[in-house]
Amino acid sequence: MSTPMKKLPGVLSFQRGTVISDAAFYNLDAQGNVSPLHVIRHGLRGTQNVNMAAASAGASAKTARREVSNIQTTDSAKLSADAVALRVHFDLKFIDLDQLLFACAPSAKDAIEDIQRMRTAFQSFVSRAKQSQGIEDVALRYARNIANARWLWRNRAVAESIQIEVRSDAQIVAIIDEALDVPLNQFDHFSAAEHAIAQHLLAGMRGERSAKLSVRADVRFGVTGAVEVFPSQNYLEDKHKGFARPLYTLGAPQSEQDPHSVREMGQAALRDQKVANALRTFDTWYPDFAERGQPIAIEPNGASLDAQTFFRNSKDSSAFQLLLQLDSLDPDSPEGRFLLACLIRGGVYSGDSKEAK
């Protein structure tokens, strides 16, 4: 067994191994017709939802009084009045694992032979991974998160039923009649449909350029009509006063709309990054999984926005530390499977002089 590398190269990055489109929203009516589902911008008069006691601690009752009304402009996305379901669609494919290494170059303190060692170790690890059970497990975990509709986020939580259809070109690869019955927190006992999806993902990882999938979900909420649905939200650092929530859209607003009335802003969608995050939420190898019982997204340090912590910040479990062992890392081991998923995620792993200590 070779000794671990002392530090990572000063320039080291991996490109994303997935190509994922935005997930566009559509109305689906009783006759099977579809139409784009638009985000609308409108005004409303709500009420203040402020913790007065916390905001005005120590203030007199008179000082703590505020305007009850909350006048605001906001974005909403709702099904059309004749819709019976929400349809959401995205495409994806994986690129050849051999192409993941994007940059590997020395800093002023790196030896050229160390850079070559990293390049050689990467190619060796990928070659072993392509023929391993580890890569099959990673592909099956991606397939499970397609089948269970995790990628629908809040829309899944409020759904009554969800049907998933996966196609490759014109051919049906799999149909999942009830995505809500597919586990969210376990990654074993995979169905025939999940195996079929995973085989297409594996083909892309192993270098087949034409291996791509089209994923479609029909989401029923148990009620019909203008039901609110949930595309991605936009982050705005400097929202103007009274603007509550901007939503993500495909396309731009139509011109010549009445600025004093409801306006269509574009077709509602989930961002590709949000879909990708859901699809890679299958890290059950992190140290605290047995206690928490919930997978986290594949992240080098095990970062979790939900828990507001790093679950892989210890010296031996982060992807940065595992990369130092790339020469000898077994892709079938839990650590090897995690690192393989990190390489597919992509990212910057550049080292610095501190790592050599």
Cα–Cα dist 56/53, whole Å: 5
pLDDT for residue 172: 97
Q: By the 8 A CB rule, do 86 and 25 touch?
A: yes
Q: Is residue 88 part of a domain?
A: yes
When divided into structural domains, the chain yields a total of: 1
Q: By the 8 A CB rule, do 173 and 213 touch?
A: yes
Q: Is residue 58 part of a domain?
A: no
- Backbone conformation region of residue 242, classed left if phi is above 0, alpha if psi is from -120 to 50, else beta: left
Q: How many Cα atoms sit within 13 Å of 59 on the Cβ side? A: 12
Cα–Cα dist 251/270, whole Å: 13
Cα–Cα dist 40/64, whole Å: 35
Q: Mind listing the pLDDT tens digit of every residue in the chain (357 residues)? A: 678 888 999 999 999 999 999 999 999 999 999 999 999 876 666 776 767 666 555 555 555 556 776 656 778 899 999 999 999 999 999 999 999 999 999 988 888 998 999 999 999 999 999 999 999 999 999 999 999 999 999 999 999 999 999 999 989 999 999 999 999 999 999 999 999 999 999 999 999 998 999 999 999 999 988 999 999 988 766 666 655 678 999 987 776 666 666 777 899 999 999 999 999 999 999 999 999 999 999 999 999 988 999 999 877 899 999 999 999 999 999 999 999 999 999 999 998 644 433
Cα–Cα dist 94/124, whole Å: 20
Cα–Cα dist 14/349, whole Å: 8
pLDDT for residue 355: 43
Residues 6+ apart with CB under 8 A from 155: 86, 88, 219, 229, 230
- Letter string b/e over residues 291-311, b meaning 16 or more CB atoms within 10 A of that residue's CB: eeeebbbbbbebebeeeeebb
Q: Is residue 286 part of a domain?
A: yes
pLDDT for residue 356: 36
pLDDT for residue 357: 34
Q: Is residue 276 part of a domain?
A: yes
Q: Is residue 253 part of a domain?
A: no
Q: Is residue 189 part of a domain?
A: yes
Q: What is the pTM of this model?
A: 0.91
Q: Is residue 99 part of a domain?
A: yes
Domain residues for the domain of 119 are 11-37+77-228+264-356
CA distances to 13, 34, 186, 267, 279 from 83, in Å: 45, 9, 34, 16, 28
Residue 185: strand pairing partners: none
Give the gyration radius of the chain's Cα atoms.
24
Q: Is 3 exposed, middle or buried (0-12, 13-18, 19+ CB in 10 A)?
A: exposed
Q: Is 34 exposed, middle or buried (0-12, 13-18, 19+ CB in 10 A)?
A: middle
Place of tokens 């790093």: 310
Q: Is residue 236 part of a domain?
A: no
How far does the chain reach from its first CA to its final CA, in angstroms?
Answer: 22
Q: By the 8 A CB rule, do 46 and 73 touch?
A: no
Q: Is 83 exposed, middle or buried (0-12, 13-18, 19+ CB in 10 A)?
A: buried
